[in-house]
Amino acid sequence: MSNWFQQSVVDPGRLRLFCFFVAFIAAFAFIRFSVRMIRAQVKWWPGNVTPGGVHIHHAVFGLVLMCVGGVGGLAVQDSDSGWAAVAAALLGIGMALLLDEFALVLFLKDVYWSEQGRLSVEVVFVAIALCGLAVLGWVPAGFDPGPAGRVAAYLGIILTLIVNLVFTAVCLLKGKVWCGVLGVYIGLIALVGAIRLARPGSPWARWRYPPGSRKMARARAREQRYAQPVHRLRIWFQDLIAGRPDHR
């Protein structure tokens, strides 16, 4: 295990990213456990932070930790030092606390336990997926600049990134969020998602699939047959990890 950590994390220079990733997941797990204990009104759990009767959301603590971790990481010169790892971990903790209340920040109201609050969990899961791929060594569109001075190689990489970005944007417009997210790293996923039919409620379907058209009928049939079971499974998993909203 130590050999794997040295060869896969330390030697490639991904120590800070690894510390960020682990701290991010640990902080998200902790804060979700905390809010579920508060929601259940467990007597032995400390509860909300309310100095002077003002409820301080954990996004505030997240912002502070992100500032400390970000500035601290810039100040540390040695990227493999313990202080660099600490700064990265603080950044990860802060980002987890902030993204856990992403929906609250977006809608500017407390929607934490509402259906709108699911957006925060979705964003956290997307962040975990992207960071996890980065820790494993995946880079967007296989980006590898290679030796300096190879102009043709750089032009090829830039063209690949642009094409992959177009496919990713099409996936998002078609309502295929996970294809778009994973497609940033794995171009084939973005290509497949961009080619296949859009989801019926997506912007792409509203623009290009007229009501009553054959494509809209196929999109709705595919949504009912494939997407809805996956959606129910995803909701079940989200509720298991993050808790069920008050109104469903």
- The 10s digit of each residue's pLDDT in 157-167 is 677 778 878 88
Is pLDDT above 60 for 190? Answer: yes
Going by the DSSP 8-state scheme, the letter that residue 202 receives in this structure is S
So what's the pLDDT on residue 144? 55
Is pLDDT above 90 for 54? Answer: no
pTM: 0.79
What 57-60 contacts at long range (C-beta under 8 Å, 24+ apart), as own/partner pairs, is 57/101, 57/104, 58/31, 58/97, 58/100, 58/101, 59/97, 59/98, 59/100, 59/101, 59/104, 59/105
Matching residue, tokens 């129910």: 232
Angle, CA of 148, 150 and 154, to the nearest 5°: 95
At 186, the pLDDT band (50, 70, 90 cuts) reads: confident
Token pair for 38: 């508060």
Going by the DSSP 8-state scheme, the letter that residue 196 receives in this structure is S
53: left (phi over 0), alpha (psi -120 to 50) or beta: left
Span 148-157, pLDDT tens digits: 545 555 666 6
129, 182 in Cβ contact below 8 A? yes
Span 75-109, pLDDT tens digits: 988 888 889 999 999 999 999 999 999 999 988 88
Token pair for 210: 């007229």
